[in-house]
A and B are shown apart, each in its own frame.
Chain A
Protein backbone atom coordinates (compact mmCIF):
# COMPACT_ATOMS: atom_id res chain seq x y z
CA UNK A 1 0.00 0.00 0.00
CA UNK A 2 0.90 3.63 0.16
CA UNK A 3 1.22 6.11 3.01
CA UNK A 4 2.03 9.81 3.03
CA UNK A 5 2.73 12.14 5.94
CA UNK A 6 2.51 15.91 5.92
CA UNK A 7 1.88 18.44 8.69
CA UNK A 8 -1.76 19.12 9.40
CA UNK A 9 -1.43 22.89 9.71
CA UNK A 10 1.06 25.64 8.96
CA UNK A 11 0.69 29.35 9.70
CA UNK A 12 2.79 32.08 8.10
CA UNK A 13 2.63 35.82 7.48
CA UNK A 14 2.07 37.59 4.21
CA UNK A 15 5.28 38.01 2.22
CA UNK A 16 7.06 35.17 4.01
CA UNK A 17 8.32 31.83 2.69
CA UNK A 18 6.81 28.56 3.86
CA UNK A 19 7.85 24.97 3.27
CA UNK A 20 5.42 22.06 3.48
CA UNK A 21 7.11 18.69 3.86
CA UNK A 22 5.87 15.31 2.71
CA UNK A 23 7.28 11.86 3.38
CA UNK A 24 5.90 8.85 1.63
CA UNK A 25 6.03 5.07 1.52
CA UNK A 26 5.03 3.21 -1.60
CA UNK A 27 6.12 0.08 -3.42
CA UNK A 28 5.94 1.45 -6.95
CA UNK A 29 6.88 5.12 -6.70
CA UNK A 30 6.50 6.97 -9.97
CA UNK A 31 6.27 10.61 -8.94
CA UNK A 32 5.13 13.15 -6.38
CA UNK A 33 2.53 15.81 -7.11
CA UNK A 34 1.23 18.80 -5.21
CA UNK A 35 -2.32 20.12 -5.31
CA UNK A 36 -3.95 23.22 -3.83
CA UNK A 37 -7.56 23.23 -2.70
CA UNK A 38 -9.46 26.24 -1.44
CA UNK A 39 -12.49 25.69 0.78
CA UNK A 40 -15.44 24.69 -1.38
CA UNK A 41 -13.25 24.35 -4.45
CA UNK A 42 -11.68 21.58 -6.48
CA UNK A 43 -8.05 20.50 -6.18
CA UNK A 44 -5.76 22.35 -8.57
CA UNK A 45 -2.55 20.82 -9.83
CA UNK A 46 0.58 22.76 -8.80
CA UNK A 47 3.63 20.65 -9.64
CA UNK A 48 5.04 17.22 -10.27
CA UNK A 49 8.44 15.68 -9.54
CA UNK A 50 9.53 12.35 -10.93
CA UNK A 51 13.27 12.91 -10.60
CA UNK A 52 15.36 14.25 -7.74
CA UNK A 53 15.76 17.98 -7.54
CA UNK A 54 13.87 21.20 -7.59
CA UNK A 55 11.09 22.24 -9.97
CA UNK A 56 10.16 25.92 -10.01
CA UNK A 57 6.90 27.41 -11.22
CA UNK A 58 6.56 31.05 -10.37
CA UNK A 59 6.23 31.55 -6.61
CA UNK A 60 5.92 27.80 -6.06
CA UNK A 61 8.77 25.28 -6.07
CA UNK A 62 8.72 21.58 -5.37
CA UNK A 63 11.59 19.32 -4.38
CA UNK A 64 12.03 15.57 -4.40
CA UNK A 65 14.58 13.21 -2.91
CA UNK A 66 13.72 9.66 -3.91
CA UNK A 67 16.43 8.14 -1.74
CA UNK A 68 14.86 9.80 1.32
CA UNK A 69 11.25 9.26 0.16
CA UNK A 70 10.78 12.95 0.86
CA UNK A 71 9.58 16.01 -0.91
CA UNK A 72 8.49 19.52 -0.12
CA UNK A 73 6.51 22.39 -1.55
CA UNK A 74 7.99 25.85 -1.14
CA UNK A 75 5.76 28.88 -1.37
CA UNK A 76 7.45 32.26 -1.63
CA UNK A 77 6.11 35.79 -1.25
CA UNK A 78 3.03 34.46 0.46
CA UNK A 79 -0.27 36.15 -0.31
CA UNK A 80 -3.55 35.95 1.55
CA UNK A 81 -5.03 34.03 -1.37
CA UNK A 82 -2.53 31.23 -0.71
CA UNK A 83 -4.56 30.26 2.37
CA UNK A 84 -5.79 26.83 1.36
CA UNK A 85 -5.16 23.12 1.85
CA UNK A 86 -2.12 21.64 0.13
CA UNK A 87 -1.97 17.95 -0.68
CA UNK A 88 1.03 15.92 -1.65
CA UNK A 89 0.07 12.97 -3.80
CA UNK A 90 2.11 9.96 -4.79
CA UNK A 91 1.79 8.39 -8.18
CA UNK A 92 2.13 4.65 -7.76
CA UNK A 93 2.46 2.12 -10.56
CA UNK A 94 1.90 -0.90 -8.32
CA UNK A 95 -1.50 -2.42 -9.12
CA UNK A 96 -2.04 -0.03 -11.97
CA UNK A 97 -1.20 3.65 -12.07
CA UNK A 98 -3.00 5.57 -9.40
CA UNK A 99 -2.53 8.82 -7.51
CA UNK A 100 -3.03 8.67 -3.75
CA UNK A 101 -3.35 11.86 -1.73
CA UNK A 102 -1.84 12.70 1.63
CA UNK A 103 -4.07 14.01 4.41
CA UNK A 104 -3.34 17.61 3.46
CA UNK A 105 -1.74 20.63 5.11
CA UNK A 106 -3.94 23.57 5.91
CA UNK A 107 -2.00 26.80 5.33
CA UNK A 108 -3.14 29.96 7.08
CA UNK A 109 -1.60 33.19 5.83
CA UNK A 110 -1.90 36.12 8.22
CA UNK A 111 -1.59 39.80 7.41
Chain B
Protein backbone atom coordinates (compact mmCIF):
# COMPACT_ATOMS: atom_id res chain seq x y z
CA UNK B 1 0.00 0.00 0.00
CA UNK B 2 1.65 3.21 -1.17
CA UNK B 3 -1.14 5.63 -0.39
CA UNK B 4 -2.16 8.20 2.14
CA UNK B 5 -5.93 8.15 2.61
CA UNK B 6 -7.78 11.22 3.81
CA UNK B 7 -11.40 11.45 4.85
CA UNK B 8 -13.69 13.17 4.23
CA UNK B 9 -12.86 14.50 0.76
CA UNK B 10 -15.19 17.47 1.23
CA UNK B 11 -16.46 19.10 4.40
CA UNK B 12 -18.74 22.06 4.98
CA UNK B 13 -18.99 23.23 8.56
CA UNK B 14 -20.41 26.13 10.48
CA UNK B 15 -18.29 28.34 12.67
CA UNK B 16 -19.70 26.75 15.83
CA UNK B 17 -19.23 23.16 14.70
CA UNK B 18 -16.65 20.62 15.80
CA UNK B 19 -15.34 18.25 13.16
CA UNK B 20 -12.31 16.06 12.56
CA UNK B 21 -10.20 15.29 9.53
CA UNK B 22 -8.64 11.85 9.33
CA UNK B 23 -5.50 10.59 7.64
CA UNK B 24 -4.19 7.04 7.38
CA UNK B 25 -1.08 5.46 5.90
CA UNK B 26 0.19 1.89 5.94
CA UNK B 27 3.64 2.40 4.46
CA UNK B 28 5.42 2.18 7.79
CA UNK B 29 6.28 5.86 7.63
CA UNK B 30 7.25 7.36 10.97
CA UNK B 31 6.67 11.01 10.14
CA UNK B 32 3.30 12.56 9.32
CA UNK B 33 2.37 16.11 8.44
CA UNK B 34 -0.56 18.46 8.07
CA UNK B 35 -0.39 21.15 5.41
CA UNK B 36 -2.95 23.80 4.48
CA UNK B 37 -3.26 24.98 0.90
CA UNK B 38 -5.23 27.93 -0.41
CA UNK B 39 -6.09 28.19 -4.10
CA UNK B 40 -3.10 28.99 -6.32
CA UNK B 41 -0.79 29.00 -3.29
CA UNK B 42 1.82 26.51 -2.07
CA UNK B 43 1.15 24.02 0.72
CA UNK B 44 1.78 25.68 4.07
CA UNK B 45 3.15 23.54 6.90
CA UNK B 46 0.98 23.29 10.02
CA UNK B 47 2.19 20.35 12.11
CA UNK B 48 4.84 17.64 12.05
CA UNK B 49 4.59 14.37 13.96
CA UNK B 50 7.68 12.23 14.30
CA UNK B 51 7.36 8.80 15.90
CA UNK B 52 3.86 9.74 17.09
CA UNK B 53 5.08 12.83 18.93
CA UNK B 54 4.35 16.39 17.89
CA UNK B 55 7.69 17.84 16.86
CA UNK B 56 6.69 21.01 15.03
CA UNK B 57 3.72 23.35 15.44
CA UNK B 58 4.04 26.26 13.02
CA UNK B 59 2.24 28.68 15.35
CA UNK B 60 -1.13 27.30 14.27
CA UNK B 61 -4.20 28.75 16.08
CA UNK B 62 -5.57 26.53 18.83
CA UNK B 63 -8.83 26.03 16.94
CA UNK B 64 -6.80 23.42 15.05
CA UNK B 65 -5.81 20.50 17.26
CA UNK B 66 -3.75 17.62 15.88
CA UNK B 67 -3.69 14.11 17.26
CA UNK B 68 -1.63 11.05 16.37
CA UNK B 69 -3.30 7.98 17.95
CA UNK B 70 -0.77 5.58 16.45
CA UNK B 71 1.91 5.41 13.80
CA UNK B 72 -0.62 4.95 10.99
CA UNK B 73 -3.22 7.54 11.91
CA UNK B 74 -3.27 11.31 12.08
CA UNK B 75 -6.28 13.43 12.97
CA UNK B 76 -6.92 17.14 12.83
CA UNK B 77 -9.68 18.32 15.15
CA UNK B 78 -11.44 21.52 14.15
CA UNK B 79 -13.41 23.80 16.43
CA UNK B 80 -14.76 27.33 16.07
CA UNK B 81 -13.20 27.86 12.69
CA UNK B 82 -13.40 31.07 10.69
CA UNK B 83 -14.37 31.46 7.03
CA UNK B 84 -10.73 32.29 6.22
CA UNK B 85 -9.83 28.76 7.34
CA UNK B 86 -11.53 27.42 4.23
CA UNK B 87 -8.82 25.63 2.26
CA UNK B 88 -7.54 22.25 1.11
CA UNK B 89 -6.03 20.38 4.05
CA UNK B 90 -3.35 17.94 3.01
CA UNK B 91 -1.90 15.12 5.02
CA UNK B 92 1.50 13.72 4.09
CA UNK B 93 3.87 11.09 5.36
CA UNK B 94 7.54 10.24 4.94
CA UNK B 95 9.84 7.51 6.16
CA UNK B 96 11.50 9.69 8.73
CA UNK B 97 11.26 13.38 9.56
CA UNK B 98 14.99 13.78 10.04
CA UNK B 99 16.45 11.11 7.86
CA UNK B 100 17.54 11.09 4.25
CA UNK B 101 15.39 13.07 1.92
CA UNK B 102 12.73 10.61 1.02
CA UNK B 103 9.86 12.40 -0.63
CA UNK B 104 6.59 13.05 1.01
CA UNK B 105 3.55 11.05 -0.01
CA UNK B 106 0.51 13.29 0.05
CA UNK B 107 -3.11 12.34 0.46
CA UNK B 108 -5.68 13.79 -1.92
CA UNK B 109 -6.78 16.25 0.75
CA UNK B 110 -9.96 17.42 2.44
CA UNK B 111 -11.53 20.46 0.87
CA UNK B 112 -12.94 22.41 3.82
CA UNK B 113 -15.49 25.18 3.56
CA UNK B 114 -16.38 27.15 6.69
CA UNK B 115 -19.72 28.96 6.50
Q: How many A-B contacts at CB < 8 Å in the complex?
A: 60
**Which residue on chain B has the smallest CB distance to residue A48?**
B101
- A residues near B92, Cβ cutoff 8 Å: 43
**Which residue on chain B has the smallest CB distance to residue A34?**
B103
Cβ-based interface call for B21 (8 A): no
Segment from A12-20, A70-78, A95-103 that makes contact with B? A95-103
- B residues near A96, Cβ cutoff 8 Å: 48, 55-56, 97
Interface magnitude class on chain B? 20 to 34
Cβ-based interface call for B104 (8 A): yes
Tell me the B73-115 residues at the A interface (CB within 8 Å). 90, 92, 97-98, 100-109
Contact present for A87 and B90 (CB under 8 Å): no
Segment from B12-20, B39-47, B62-70 that makes contact with A? B39-47
Contact present for B101 and A50 (CB under 8 Å): yes
Contact present for B106 and A97 (CB under 8 Å): no
Tell me the A15-37 residues at the B interface (CB within 8 Å). 30-31, 33, 35
| Given known contacts A42-B90, A93-B98, A101 and B103 CB-to-CB distance under 8 angstroms | no
A-B contact pairs, 16 of them (CB 8 A): A33-B101, A41-B108, A42-B90, A42-B107, A42-B109, A43-B92, A43-B106, A44-B106, A49-B101, A87-B42, A93-B98, A97-B48, A98-B48, A99-B33, A99-B45, A99-B104
Seen from chain A, the residues whose Cβ lies within 8 Å of a Cβ on chain B are 30-31, 33, 35, 41-50, 87, 91, 93, 95-104
Beyond A45-B105, A49-B101, A101-B44, list 10 extra A-B contacts (CB 8 Å): A30-B101, A41-B108, A42-B107, A42-B108, A45-B103, A46-B103, A50-B100, A87-B42, A101-B43, A104-B42
